[in-house]
Amino acid sequence: DQAREAYRPVFIISDFAADSEEWDYSLQARLESALSEDRISIKLQPQADLRDGRIVGAEALARWVDEERGDVPPSRFILQCERVGRLDELTKRILSKSLDAAAALQTCDHHPRISVNVSAIQFVDSRIAELVEKNLAIHSADPAKLTIEVTETARIENFSVARGVFEQIKQLGVNFSMDDFGVASANLEAMFELPFDEIKIDQIFVRGVHHSETARAIVANVVRLARDAGLTSVAEGIEDRETYDFLRETGCDLGQGYYISRPMTLSNLQEMMTLQKDTPLLRDKYG
Ligand code: C2E
Ligand code: MG
Ligand code: MG
Ligand code: MG
């Protein structure tokens, strides 16, 4: 027991070290140059209409490959941007690249919509609305082809302020999706308080469909909840045929996940859109 006790502080110290100022500082310097040199890019992950498998949209996911550290996961650098007040700058660049992509995809048969992630904490004032309006104009993009996926809805402190910002953006013709439905504690309150058009069922439930009756019950009932509330339902994290079929049978509208396609480059997506075949059959080629 004594030996075990002796180990404990070591783990605490190493946890602390991973989160120390020194470590953040080095990441911060690299992130700052990546932002100023515009080296943070996007990958687009197709979203399929589950009834016929056609690609009707894509989610823009931020990607940063650092020379020394390699792939830095978005969860890591987005938190870092938030800590140092650079989240608006990141959003500006991602939004700009996403609307560029949306414009490029306008020529495709089924002109897909693009979903862009924006953190709930960015709905505390009108800056995000101004950013969206300005970028729609710059790129002459169709607002109806832009969806804003709001992440971390549990962090909304003032719903009436957030609602005002939502309304400003909705007036432009942009749609709203609630990301990670089911995992953020205030999801139902946010669904009730804010004018969402869509909910995205979190992948922890979708990936549990195989082995958990509870997961199947949650997924089926969230799909029904969305339908009864007049919202579109989207399932993320569909990794195999069985899950795809289950989601389709529950009446879920849209699906996203490795089974349909991994996140890809714009040119790959354009090629995929041009072919417009049943997407699961194309996954090996584009995955
Ligand atoms: P999210 O918005 O829920 O995005 C879905 C995540 O699941 C993505 O991870 C995607 O690559 C991954 N994914 C997609 N299909 C599958 C699948 O079938 N199986 C599994 N296991 N994973 C799948 P990623 O790209 O690492 O992004 C993580 C999170 O970072 C996102 O979760 C989102 O919350 C945030 N994020 C990404 N880009 C941005 C951005 O531009 N702005 C903001 N604010 N957040 C972003
Ligand atoms: Mg998302
Ligand atoms: Mg999501
Ligand atoms: Mg998620």
pLDDT tens by residue, 43-87: 999 999 999 999 999 999 999 999 988 999 999 999 999 999 999
The Cα 80–Cα 84 span in angstroms is 6
CB-based neighbours (< 5 A) of ligand 2, an ion: 117, 149, 179
What's residue 12's pLDDT? Answer: 39
pLDDT higher at 224 or 3: 224
* Ligand 3 centre distance from Cα of residue 240 (Å): 18
Question: How far is the centre of ligand 4, averaged over its atoms, from the C-alpha of 26 (Å)?
Answer: 27
CB atoms within 10 A of CB 217: 11
Query: Residue 281 has what pLDDT?
Result: 46
CB of 257 sitting under 6 A from ligand 1: yes
pLDDT in tens, 24-34: 678 889 999 99
Closest CA to 192 of 149, 154, 229: 229
The tokens for 77 are 């650098």
CA of 64, nearest ligand number: 1
CA 194/CA 188 separation, integer angstroms = 10
Cα–Cα distance, 64 to 62 (Å, whole number):
7
Which pLDDT belongs to residue 8?
39
Dist. CA 218 → ligand 4 center (Å): 16
Q: Whose CA is nearest to atom 14 of ligand 1?
A: 257
Instruction: Give the residue, by CA position, lying nearest to ligand 1 atom 20.
Output: 237
Mean pLDDT of 112-128: 97
Query: What pLDDT, on the 0 to 100 scale, is given for residue 11?
Result: 39
Is there an atom of ligand 1 within 6 Å of 119 CB?
yes
Measured by CA distance, the residue closest to atom 45 of ligand 1 is 117
Residue having the nearest C-alpha atom to atom 33 of ligand 1? 117
Average pLDDT over the chain reads 89
What band does 279 get if pLDDT is binned at 50, 70 and 90? Answer: low
> For residue 149, which atom of ligand 1 is closest to its CA?
2
3-state SS of the chain is: CHHHHHHHHHHHHHHHHHCCHHHHHHHHHHHHHHHHCCCCEEEEEEEEECCCCCEEEEEEEEEEEECCCEEECHHHHHHHHHHCCCHHHHHHHHHHHHHHHHHHHHHCCCCCEEEEEEEHHHCCCCHHHHHHHHHHHHCCCCHHHEEEEEECHHHCCCHHHHHHHHHHHHCCCCEEEEEEECCCCCHHHHHHHCCCCEEEECHHHHCCCCCCHHHHHHHHHHHHHHHHCCCEEEECCCCCHHHHHHHHHHCCCEECCCCCCCCECHHHHHHHHHHCCCHHHHHHHHC
181-200 mean pLDDT: 93
Q: What is the pTM of this model?
A: 0.90
The rounded percent of the chain whose pLDDT value lies above 90 is 78
What ipTM did this prediction achieve? 0.97
Rounded distance from Cα 203 to ligand 4 centre (Å): 6
Instruction: Please give the distance, rounded to the nearest whole angstrom, from the Cα atom of residue 13 to the centre of ligand 4.
Output: 30
- Please tell me the distance between residue 263's alpha carbon and the centre of ligand 3 in angstroms: 13
In angstroms, rounded to a whole number, what is the distance separating the alpha carbons of residues 276 and 221?
Answer: 31
Residue 10 reports pLDDT greater than 50: no
In 3D space, the residue among 259, 243, 58 whose CA is nearest the CA of residue 149 turns out to be 58
pLDDT(18) > 60: no
